[in-house]
Amino acid sequence: MKPGMKLAILLGGAVVVWGLIAYVFLAGNSSEKKAPEIAKTALYASVDCPESVSIVAVSKPDSVFGRDYINDDEKMAIAMSIGKGA
């Protein structure tokens, strides 16, 4: 076998192995999978009788960290309405 072929097989094998490791690491830590489970646990912990809770549906998690719930135009409208009322 040629030395170049051995190197190509070794490089290809390394790419496949590291690709699988990266896939397992990234797919296993998906926040879309963890968020509903954490929310269910928190819900059950916050009620007096967890057996009475019936979860009908779970919506997709919404990424709001570091974002504003209202935009700048809405902030200005709120500020203007507060200024007019005073």
Comparing CA positions, the residue from 54, 33, 31 lying closest to residue 44 is 54
Q: Which residue has tokens 């974002």?
A: 67
- Retrieve residue 53's tokens: 């809770």
What is the model's pLDDT at position 67? 60
Contact 50, 44 (CB under 8 A): yes
Which tens digits make up the pLDDT trace of 13-71? 999 999 988 887 777 666 667 778 888 888 899 888 888 888 888 877 666 655 666 77
What is the model's pLDDT at position 14? 93
Q: pTM score, two decimals? A: 0.39
